[in-house]
């Protein structure tokens, strides 16, 4: 057993102080779990992963807003550290890639949050899902969210759930998988994932909500968003653009 920062320093061939700094910045992970305590004791054979912010694609930036194409496997909150002084307007799940917006001042942040509350924000996602979908559909099922093992988990809940609508539009089919466009008006936690699971078409790689297909990530991408006169679109990563 050894301190996390010392093991990281050895693995990455960096100084102990640099390793401690990386852990304190919150960008060091073991699997999907963030390493939070630099002096915490770890097994000698543990493998660390350090998030790399250098290749974050900035889609647009002005005096009010920054739009980025968030890579999969990166926490939304880590982007606030990358762009000093910015504030997240909304969030994406860690495994979800795509358009993420940050406000550069408090006034615009308040306007953006109000737009989300009034549901005047248009969001489009794209995903690969289990099974074959030929026709457009609309899923209108209420969702409730709770904590389980320190993680958020949502479910369809006809009694206590909050209203949620997801519109599904098929794009293409490969084998027994379908690529679909998804449009949501509300923004419930894991809404798209829960709704697709409820109709027996979970997102590929989403084992939490029923996918049986192994994947390095959940194949969900936030493709486009329109907010307060702005319109942004994030290019699809290769695993979304073409399943195989």
- Supply the residues annotated as catalytic: 93
Q: Which two tokens stand for residue 51?
A: 């998030």
On the 0-12 / 13-18 / 19+ scale of CB atoms within 10 A, 186 is middle
CB contact at 8 A, 52 and 81: no
**Bridge partner list, 221:** 97, 126
Residue 149: phi and psi, rounded to 5, are: 65, 30
φ and ψ of 49, to 5 deg? -130, 130
């Amino acid at each position: 057993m050894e301190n996390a920062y010392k093991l990281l320093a050895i693995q990455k061939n960096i100084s102990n102080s640099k390793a401690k700094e990386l852990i304190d910045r919150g960008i060091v992970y073991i699997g999907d779990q963030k390493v939070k305590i630099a002096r915490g004791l770890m097994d000698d054979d543990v493998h660390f992963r350090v998030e790399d912010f250098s290749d974050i694609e900035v889609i647009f930036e002005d005096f009010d807003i920054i739009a980025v194409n968030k890579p999969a496997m990166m926490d939304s909150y880590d982007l606030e550290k990358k762009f000093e002084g910015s504030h997240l307007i909304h969030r994406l799940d860690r495994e979800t890639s795509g358009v993420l917006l940050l406000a550069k001042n408090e006034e615009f942040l308040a306007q953006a949050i109000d737009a989300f509350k009034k549901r005047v924000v248009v969001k489009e996602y794209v995903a690969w899902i289990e099974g074959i979908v030929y026709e457009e559909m609309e899923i209108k099922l209420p969702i409730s969210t709770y904590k389980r093992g320190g993680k958020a988990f949502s479910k369809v809940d006809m009694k206590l759930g909050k209203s949620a609508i997801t519109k599904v539009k098929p794009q293409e089919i490969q084998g027994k998988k379908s690529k679909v466009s998804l449009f949501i008006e509300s923004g419930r936690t894991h809404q798209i994932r829960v709704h697709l699971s409820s109709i027996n078409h979970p997102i590929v790689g989403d084992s939490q909500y029923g996918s049986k297909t192994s994947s390095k990530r959940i194949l969900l991408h936030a493709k486009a968003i329109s907010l307060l006169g702005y319109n942004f679109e994030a290019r699809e990563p290769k695993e979304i653009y073409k399943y195989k």
